[in-house]
Amino acid sequence: MHIRKNIDTFLGTLVTIFMGVLVLNVLWQVASRFIVGHPSSFTDELAGYLLIWVGLLGAAYATGQKQHLAIDLISKKLTEEKNKRLQTFINILITGFALIVLVIGGSNLVYITFHLNQISSALQIPVGFVYLVLPISGIFIMYYAINDIGLIWKQTHNKALSTEETR
């Protein structure tokens, strides 16, 4: 649990910092366009890249906080045992998606953009650094989903032990 709390703090802080930089960046773009009369050349590209990082790391953070979008119509009608199995199945699907799409697919995208030496036009940085957030967020999402599966089964095990002790 200590590791999860540290990851929560790290991701929350990182997303907050990136969001703050994004807000300052957009404010500078507006100010440079309307006050100075010449928009800054890099702010539009930086805003897009920061939005990608905030969105994907924010999704990982939301997964860890169990704040992601969920439809609970089915789970409310299930017994506790069936609900546990449903939550386990959902977390397995989340893990599979994160692995295939974000980690494997994202890693391939990062590799290709670095291999092709793709450079961003305004910031002149390798685009692979921008796409690096895909496998990073995928790893965090996988960690949270696997950890949640462990917590579900640990609670069930602890409940079974306490029931046996009361007999």
Mean pLDDT for the stretch of residues 27-40: 89
Among residues of the chain, what percentage have pLDDT more than 70? 94
CA angle in degrees (0–180, nearest 5) for 4-60-54: 125
Choice among 77-81, 128-132, 140-144, 163-167 with the minimum mean pLDDT: 163-167
Question: Domain-by-domain residue ranges, the chain?
Answer: 2-166
Q: How far apart are CA 154 and CA 142, in angstroms?
A: 18
Q: Quick one: which of 167, 136, 160 has its CA closest to 58?
A: 136
Average pLDDT (17-28) is: 97
- Residues 136 and 98: their CA atoms lie apart, in Å, by 10
Do the Cβ atoms of 7 and 143 come closer than 8 Å?
Answer: yes
Name the H helices within 32-97: 43-64, 73-77, 80-97
- pLDDT for 167: 58
Task: Please give the pLDDT value at position 13.
Answer: 98
pLDDT in tens, 93-120: 999 999 999 999 999 999 999 999 999 9
128 contact partners, CB below 8 Å, separation of at least 6: 110, 111, 113, 114, 118
